[in-house]
Amino acid sequence: MVLGKDPSLYGITNSNRKTKDLWGKNQFNSTFPVALACYMRDKGIKPIYLMLNENLQVEAAEITFDEVFNSTLENEELYFDFESKFDPYQAYSFDDIGGIDLVVKDNKGGFLRPLEIKLTVLPDSSTAKQSEDNWGSEIVLRPPTTKYCALGIADSCRGEFNKIRDIFEPICHDMQNWGNKYEILDKLPKILSGIDTFQENYLRFQKPLLLQPIWKTQGKSPWLADNAFDIFIWSDFALSRLFLDASTQNLANKKITRQMRSSARLARFLYHISTTGKAPLTSIYTEMAFGLQTDKEFAVNGSVTRNYMDSPRKKTPIIERSALSEIILNGGEKQLSPERRFDQTIYFTIANRK
């Protein structure tokens, strides 16, 4: 790649974020992961792909970044559109679908892939005192994540709506009030069973949705481990198991959790999309709050995610910390804010190598 003199990040040549916009508080957490992905891509290093198998279990495989970005174009020929809307999915909603962390486009503006990005530290507070084999990372999911999960599934399965309707209509057609928690709780066992049937039948349509880089520290210290970085990619089907499995495990509690809410929302979406070709996204997310906060979908700590991220590369990430100087270019670390933990770790790691 051609290197300029301004602070920059590897591979991000064409983007709606330039110069100072690469380094801000809510910007570096998504721009650095893209630069890491571009770096790994050019080095021929595949990320770990967390995908759903025929037993509805999440398993670790590998995937190419060409598949993640849905393009064989070089990094410099791609356009990275941050906090943007993936316009092709608008066809599946009566309401504006909003944006997602990253929309990958080609150099002519063609839409390639929407991706949610979750930069996570290893270990998190729930696992830091345990053995290194048991470390895990916390993932906090936002409503846009589950919205785009549903929209992406709809787009992949658009030729199967009639058959999908046969799964959900018997379960959902007599639902009187999707916002009634007692009705949802009563229906939830059938809802979860219906989604399981759907996933078993349409497993072949899963595709990348969440890009989760991990940065590994030496326990709870701010110092990076020798093997410090890696990327896990979650398929849309695999990611949904974070809330579907938790919902099944908590059915006996007779109380709607955030994960149960996500499960019910997905079922309602799939029912509407299979019967009318569109879904009322705004209604799904506003009417089905169940008294829970709406700014966050749910959070899963490392003691849970470690069971899904079952790969040796969780313990030993594939990218060494020395690669930072190849990813953050031309003194870009000086643009960071040391009061933020990740920025601080990056800044002092690079500074101590000089």
Exposure letters 288-311 (e unless 16+ CB within 10 A, then b): bebeeeeeebbebbbebbbebbeb
Q: Which two tokens stand for residue 47?
A: 């990320």
Cα–Cα distance for residue pair 105/77, rounded to 1 Å: 9
DSSP-derived letter for residue 45 is P
Cα–Cα distance for residue pair 242/127, rounded to 1 Å: 18
User: Over the stretch 135-189, which tens digit does the pLDDT of each residue have?
Assistant: 999 999 999 999 999 999 999 999 999 999 999 999 999 999 999 999 999 999 9
Q: What is the pTM of this model?
A: 0.96
Cα–Cα distances in angstroms (integers) from residue 221 to residues 122, 247, 304, in the given order: 11, 34, 22
Cα–Cα distance for residue pair 295/276, rounded to 1 Å: 28
Q: Which two tokens stand for residue 147?
A: 């919205």
User: Over the stretch 91-120, which tens digit does the pLDDT of each residue have?
Assistant: 999 999 999 999 999 999 999 999 999 999
Share of the chain above pLDDT 70, in %: 97
Cα–Cα distance for residue pair 67/207, rounded to 1 Å: 9
pLDDT in the model for residue 4: 57
Ranges of each domain in the chain: 8-351
Q: Which two tokens stand for residue 71?
A: 């393009």
Is the CB of residue 184 less than 8 Å from the CB of residue 178? yes
Is the CB of residue 174 less than 8 Å from the CB of residue 294? no
